[in-house]
């Protein structure tokens, strides 16, 4: 379920970016305001959703190699799927819905980039948008570090450890899923930190939140 969620968000991000790029490849004319209203919400969603999905993958892998792992039942799979989909889609959807709280303008348009969300730096911005990608990235890194530790410690019995959980994963599938998760984290975490710092810097000075001031324009 974590891998499926990641695939959905990556697909949405690619389609969104492709449409924006070909529409505003050489200018910043407001030619599709309705699309921008949708595009900026999707962008807010996949900024959080991709890392939330990777966190769910990392959590699953850590559970597989945990010494407390037991045979995975149908009920366990259902509960895990509910948790993964709730985190991978519920938090991003909430982030998209809450954008209106700190949204000073409908959107901005950047040449070669397209539609971009706008915000003022205040506590709702930090709490409802900025904090989530780093939080999920840190949690995923902790899970991945634990998984690597367990794999190194039990490298000779790795196949037995994976089989002991009675999941649908074989050793090869486990390694592929782990490689996907670790590779994305190796790239995604630095980019997330860089993007978070850039968003904070570009939002100018911190302001005391006021609904009337934010929506005065």
Q: Is 125 helix (H, G, I), strand (E, B) or coil?
A: helix
Residue 110 has pLDDT above 70, yes or no: yes
Over residues 47-65, the mean pLDDT reads 89
Residue 130 has pLDDT above 60, yes or no: yes
CA distance 22 to 17: 9
Residue 39's domain spans which residues?
Answer: 2-215
Residue 131 has pLDDT above 80, yes or no: yes
Count: domains in the chain: 1
HSE, side-chain direction, 13 A CA sphere, residue 32: 15
Question: Two tokens at 172?
Answer: 């090869």
Highest mean pLDDT, choosing among 37-51, 101-115, 116-130, 162-176? 37-51
Q: What is the pLDDT of residue 53?
A: 93
Q: Which residue, among 132, 151, 141, has the nearest Cα to 184 in the 3D structure? A: 141
pTM of the model: 0.82
Q: What is the pLDDT of residue 13?
A: 94
CA distance 153 to 57: 21
Give the CATH number of the domain where residue 140 resides.
Answer: 1.20.1070
Which residues have CB under 8 Å from 147's CB, separation 6+? 58, 61, 62, 65, 178
Q: Which residue, among 141, 165, 142, 151, has the nearest Cα to 64 in the 3D structure? A: 165
Question: Two tokens at 154?
Answer: 């039990």
Q: What is the pLDDT of residue 70?
A: 59
Residue 40 has pLDDT above 90, yes or no: yes
Q: What is the mean pLDDT of the chain?
A: 83
CA distance 87 to 53: 8
Residue 160 has pLDDT above 80, yes or no: no
């Amino acid at each position: 379920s974590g891998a499926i969620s990641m695939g959905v968000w990556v697909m949405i991000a690619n389609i969104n970016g492709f449409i924006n790029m070909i529409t505003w490849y050489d200018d910043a004319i407001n030619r599709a305001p309705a699309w921008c209203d949708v595009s900026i919400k999707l962008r807010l969603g996949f900024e959080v959703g991709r890392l939330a999905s990777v966190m769910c993958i990392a959590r699953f892998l850590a559970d597989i190699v945990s010494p407390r792992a037991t045979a995975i039942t149908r009920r366990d799979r259902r509960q895990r799927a509910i948790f993964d989909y709730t985190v991978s889609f519920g938090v991003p959807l909430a982030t998209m819905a809450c954008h209106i709280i700190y949204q000073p303008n409908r959107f901005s348009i950047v040449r070669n980039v397209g539609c971009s969300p706008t915000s003022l730096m205040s506590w709702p911005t930090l709490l409802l948008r900025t904090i989530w990608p780093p939080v999920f990235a840190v949690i995923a890194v902790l899970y991945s570090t634990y998984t690597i530790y367990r794999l190194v410690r039990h490298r000779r019995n790795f196949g037995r450890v994976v089989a002991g959980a009675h999941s649908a994963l074989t050793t090869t599938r486990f390694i592929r899923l782990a490689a996907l998760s670790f590779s994305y984290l190796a790239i995604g975490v630095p980019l997330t930190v860089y993007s978070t710092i850039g968003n904070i810097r570009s939002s100018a000075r911190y302001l005391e939140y006021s609904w009337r001031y934010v929506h005065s324009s």
